[in-house]
Amino acid sequence: MATKAQSPNIFPFMRFRDADAGMEWLSRAFGFEQQVAYRNDDNAIQHAQMSLGPGIVMLGQGDPEDPLSQGVYIAVDDVDAHYERAKAAGAEIVREIEDTDYDSREYTARDPEGHLWSFGTYHPKVTNRGKR
């Protein structure tokens, strides 16, 4: 059972065709604030976080129609054990466990109804760090 002292570990994620425009719109329309933005060599946003109060959404550049573009991300302490448990239970692994450029180790699975669940060691936190 969660206590008030624990920080959130479940975060929605999504892709935008133009992540910069998407972030600007989320800020203007809903009041979200950019926390971090990691860019690739082409200056496209690979991973970004925006907050609204204590809540965080994660996003990046990509095709929003891609079946892997939206889902839920959950930070876990031991992602390798979690991955093995999911595989043993017959979960459909759609992205094998891997290390990312933003210092996470993560994988993605699909549930029986088709929803995406990503698990990893990266733990987003509300900060005042701004753009990267």
pLDDT category, 128, cuts 50, 70, 90?
A: low
Please give the pLDDT value at position 14.
95
SS3 19: helix
Is 73:11 a contact under the CB 8 Å cutoff?
yes
26, 28, 29, 46 from 42: Cα distances, Å: 23, 25, 27, 10
The string of pLDDT tens digits covering residues 45-71 is 999 999 998 899 999 999 988 878 899
State the average pLDDT over residues 125-129.
Answer: 63
- Yes or no: say if 32 and 26 are a contact pair by the CB < 8 Å rule: yes
Positive or negative, the Cα torsion across 26, 18, 47, 66? positive
Q: What's the rounded Cα separation, in Å, for the pair 125 and 106?
A: 17
Q: Are strands 45-52 and 55-61 parallel, antiparallel or unpaired?
A: antiparallel
Burial 50-59 (b: 16+ CB within 10 A, else e): bbeeeebbbb
Fold entry, domain 10-120: 2,3-Dihydroxybiphenyl 1,2-Dioxygenase; domain 1 (3.10.180)
Q: What is the pLDDT of residues 82-107, one digit of tens each?
A: 999 999 999 999 999 999 888 899 99
How far apart (Å, rounded) are the C-alpha atoms in residues 51 and 79? Answer: 25
pLDDT at 116: 92
